[in-house]
Copies of this chain bind each other. A is one copy, B any other.
Amino acid sequence: MAKNADDMGSRLQRAALDLFREQGYDRTTAAGIAARAGVTERTFFRYFADKREVLFGGEAVLRSALLRAIAEAPEQLGPLDTLFRSFQSVGSLLENNRPFSVPRQEIISATPALQEREQAKLAALADALAVALKARGATELQSVLAARTGMAAFAMATVAWLEHPQPGLADRLDLILLELKTMFAAVSPADE
């Protein structure tokens, strides 16, 4: 059952991507996507709340994978190490999804309505990561700061890697974490 549900979700996503590319996002309707996938409009709405959501179906899978990795990280790891380790753990998930993610990102980059939805999704995901970090003992401030900073870094690494596959996602994440560490080491806070 779960397999069939996944298949239907993927079929609708591929149909949506094809239509967005062929005729543009604005001219594509949920009914048109359903027709291309060979199902009824009613079936479309059993899987997705609206035309935008069809491109964000993978977010739930990514979110549970990240939350699981955070929960399973060694106790002694600090919030940022925990978070970046969880990002590294979803590398093969993202690799496998690349054939769908590349055209998806192109459509999003070209469509303001989808960019807004993506920003909102990233913010919601950061909130969920913050809750998971807090459950491991970080303070509220640490959790939220780490989650928002980490999410911004993760989104940046992912988008750059979708545009150019080399360097790989893992190397990009390492590079970004090192760059952030170096930049913050150079900061002179007011009370020092």
Contacts and interface: CB of A to CB of B under 8 A. Distances in A.
What is the interface of chain A mostly: helix, strand, loop, or mixed? helix
A183 B148 contact: no
Given A84-B187, A141-B176, A149-B153, 18 more contacts: A80-B187, A81-B187, A81-B188, A115-B120, A116-B117, A116-B120, A119-B119, A119-B123, A145-B153, A145-B179, A145-B180, A149-B149, A149-B180, A152-B152, A174-B191, A177-B190, A181-B184, A184-B184
Interface residues of A, number: 41
Interface in A89-137: 112, 115-117, 119-120, 122-123
A84 to B, nearest CB: 8
Contacts of A178: 189, 191-192
Report the copy number of this chain in the oligomer.
2
Q: Which of A120, A146, A192 has the most CB of B within 10 A?
A: A120
A144 B156 CA distance: 9
29 contacts: A78-B187, A80-B184, A81-B186, A81-B187, A81-B188, A84-B187, A112-B120, A115-B120, A115-B123, A116-B119, A116-B120, A119-B120, A141-B175, A144-B156, A145-B156, A145-B180, A145-B183, A146-B183, A149-B149, A149-B152, A149-B180, A174-B190, A177-B187, A178-B191, A180-B184, A180-B187, A181-B187, A184-B185, A185-B185
Interface string A25-69: 000000000000000000000000000000000000000000000
A79 interface: yes
A101 to B, nearest CB: 19
Nearest to A170: B190
Contacts of A84: 187
Nearest to A174: B190
A19 B44 CA distance: 37
